[in-house]
Structure 1
Amino acid sequence: MRCLPLLSALALALLVPAFAAAQPVPETAPLVGLDGTHQVDLVSEVNGHPYRLYVAPPEAYAADDTTRYPVLYILDGRRTFPAAITARAFQDIYDGLDDVILVGIGNGEQTFDAWFAHRWRDYTPSANAATDSAVAVQSGQPPETIVSGGGPDFLRVLREEILPFVDSAYRTTDDRGLTGQSLGGLFAVYALFEAPGLFQRVGIHSPSLWWSDGETFAREAAFAEAHTALPAHVFLSVGSEEGDAMVPPMERLAEGLRSRGHDGLTVDAVVFADETHTSVVPAQVSRTLRVLYGRSE
């Protein structure tokens, strides 16, 4: 057994009693928040569900200024919004990003089950009862809470309620972005084709393109048949360790979009090496800011 140097052992002996005597943190101790951010709770008239917005204007935002800013809407806000704040803070050290208002969208969920049910409802563009049932059994959740197909209503919530609220409460431009991962990525693709022009910058990450036997590819093909323009900068990504159900479909979608030659469309895509479906998320958030909002000259 190694012996600690005398000085280190003495220091440890002096410190241990102090740690041992420490008292529990009182319940009245202030909670830690994210500096410069706001939280707003809304109840939708479209679908009757609550939503919580996490808003972070850029550092330059000031009450006595008239400058207006683009907005990036971030799905799964309670979990991804903090990552976006951190990524922006580091990239802003060397003025790496254009100023942008960040808005995380959640529903105030405090448990994993509530978060999962919320995103399963809102981020799926069509109903699939068989998949609902299988997932409820697999996750051990009550079947009545796992109900898909709320994507069209959630798109209305965005278009008719959340976006107008943010535009009225903050100094915004009509330059809007949307980014999501997994089911959130599936919804981002859906919004890209279903509401072209609503979002000019779109992050599509580890998208669940397996949904309903790959119906997204049929939707993309139908869009291409009917449209020659798609004014958007699209950034797609996936982790290399996400497997055959995730990596090839993302690459297929990226190549399909590039091949269409839509007027106004820019497509960037990356496969993050050695990353899984969950470990890749912070990298996706950070790279989305860099690709879609990298400082313009």
Structure 2
Amino acid sequence: MIIEKSQKLLFTTFSLLIFYNLLFSQKLEPKERIGHEPDHIISSEITKKEYLIHLSFPKNYSNRDTITYPVLYVLDGKSTHRYFNSSYIDFEKTENVILVGISHKVNGMESRINRFNDYTAYRDTISDRKFEKKFGLEKGTIKTGGADNFLECIKKEIVPFIDKHYKTNSDRGISGHSLGGLFTAYCFLSSDNYFTRFGINSPSFQLNEEIFLEPAIIKFTNNQKWDIKPTKVFISTGEDESPEMVSNMVKFSLHLKKRNYENIDMNWRIYRNETHASVIPSSLNGTLITIYGKE
């Protein structure tokens, strides 16, 4: 009887090993990147836009084992992916995580226009006209308020593509800077537990101050409980960014920290002597260490 049980256990174990080997052998191997070339280009049926995907993998990532990894989706990956495997990131202090940079395929002004649309949660015609005037664009060129569609694109097109081709698990985070930070804050405020780790860096709260920031603060003030899964949040800005950006980030962070939600582990930081552009690698490193830090 004991021998029979042992044989069944061995058969089950062997079958599982075969299954996992077949499963992971169908996954893609990491590419050797040439310059700034993306790993993939995804055409979205939802947003009608094309997105570049830049990937970074843990050092020991291999299809020859059964290990799966959490994933951090980083917005504006075209400009940030050069920091993914650089000396700016202290990987000795973080868990193994796959980094997935997402950015628009178009460049220059077209990219700006797409960012204003994808990364903003509400239509803000005042901001639309303001930035059209600033960039010398025709009226109606900039249309804010496409965040719902972009988030649907991430959930239904980009994440399933990454999950299909790489060794991921359901532990997902999202991080962004500037307008990307605003979008990440929107994902956090409307959390359905799809993402449980958030890097909200240099968020452009000034765009939607009355229709996003102020309601967020009211939510933190009035709601004593927030029924979401255990969640980690990192919020940051550079000391030398615009006074409005710094003060809004501090206002958001202090109200969230003060509420002290039981299931939200939140930290925030102002980086000394850093501008809106120079703070990017520091805030990415801070995001990784804070929300993926080794225990």
TM range (shorter): 0.7 to 0.9
Q: Any idea what SS the aligned residue of 2:198 has?
A: strand
The answer to whether residue 293 in structure 2 is matched with residue 294 in structure 1 is yes
Q: CA deviation at 1:87?
A: 4.6
Name whichever of 274-283 and 212-221 sits farther off. Answer: 212-221
In structure 1, give the amino acid aligned to 2:275. T
Q: CA deviation at 1:274?
A: 1.2
Cα–Cα, structure 1 residues 96 and 288, in superposed 2: closer, same or farther, change >3 Å? same
Paired with 1:145 and 1:167, the residues of 2 have a C-alpha distance of 35
Q: CA deviation at 1:225?
A: 3.5
Q: Any idea what SS the aligned residue of 1:73 has?
A: strand
The answer to whether residue 137 in structure 2 is matched with residue 154 in structure 1 is no
Q: CA deviation at 1:220?
A: 5.1
Paired with 1:221 and 1:214, the residues of 2 have a C-alpha distance of 11
In structure 1, give the amino acid aligned to 2:122. S
Q: CA deviation at 1:294?
A: 2.3
Q: Any idea what SS the aligned residue of 1:216 has?
A: helix
TM-score, normalised on structure 2? Answer: 0.81
**Which position in structure 1 is the counterpart of 2:62?**
62
**Which position in structure 2 is the counterpart of 1:28?**
none
Q: How many residues align?
A: 260
Q: Any idea what SS the aligned residue of 1:168 has?
A: helix
Paired with 1:59 and 1:32, the residues of 2 have a C-alpha distance of 18
Unaligned stretches of 5+ residues in structure 1 = 1-30
**Which position in structure 1 is the counterpart of 2:83?**
83
Q: CA deviation at 1:215?
A: 2.3
Q: Equivalent residues in 2 for 1:135-174 (5 A)?
A: 135-174=131-170
**Which position in structure 2 is the counterpart of 1:237?**
236
Q: Equivalent residues in 2 for 1:8-23 (5 A)?
A: none
**Which position in structure 1 is the counterpart of 2:19?**
none
RMSD: 2.1
Unaligned stretches of 5+ residues in structure 2 = 1-32
**Which position in structure 2 is the counterpart of 1:48?**
48
Identity of aligned residues (%): 32
**Which position in structure 2 is the counterpart of 1:132?**
128
Name whichever of 184-193 and 144-153 sits farther off. Answer: 144-153
Paired with 1:76 and 1:129, the residues of 2 have a C-alpha distance of 24
TM-score, normalised on structure 1? Answer: 0.81
**Which position in structure 2 is the counterpart of 1:39?**
39
Paired with 1:195 and 1:87, the residues of 2 have a C-alpha distance of 32
Q: CA deviation at 1:32?
A: 4.1
In structure 1, give the amino acid aligned to 2:253. A
Q: CA deviation at 1:114?
A: 2.1
Q: Any idea what SS the aligned residue of 2:223 has?
A: helix
Cα–Cα, structure 1 residues 234 and 57, in superposed 2: closer, same or farther, change >3 Å? same
Paired with 1:227 and 1:215, the residues of 2 have a C-alpha distance of 22
Name whichever of 179-188 and 230-239 sits farther off. Answer: 230-239
Paired with 2:67 and 2:291, the residues of 1 have a C-alpha distance of 20
Q: CA deviation at 1:45?
A: 1.6
Q: Any idea what SS the aligned residue of 1:51 has?
A: strand
Paired with 1:121 and 1:48, the residues of 2 have a C-alpha distance of 12
Question: Is the contact between residue 229 and residue 262 of structure 1 (CA under 8 Å) also seen in structure 2?
Answer: no
Q: CA deviation at 1:122?
A: 0.4
Cα–Cα, structure 1 residues 38 and 112, in superposed 2: closer, same or farther, change >3 Å? closer
Paired with 2:217 and 2:185, the residues of 1 have a C-alpha distance of 9
In structure 1, give the amino acid aligned to 2:243. D
Q: CA deviation at 1:209?
A: 1.0
Deviations 1:28-74 (A, max 9, x none): xxx9436xx96111111212111111112212111211100000000
Q: CA deviation at 1:222?
A: 3.9
Cα–Cα, structure 1 residues 262 and 185, in superposed 2: closer, same or farther, change >3 Å? same
In structure 2, give the amino acid aligned to 1:54. H
Q: CA deviation at 1:112?
A: 2.1
Which of these two proteins has the greater Rg computed from alpha carbons? 1
Cα–Cα, structure 1 residues 71 and 178, in superposed 2: closer, same or farther, change >3 Å? same
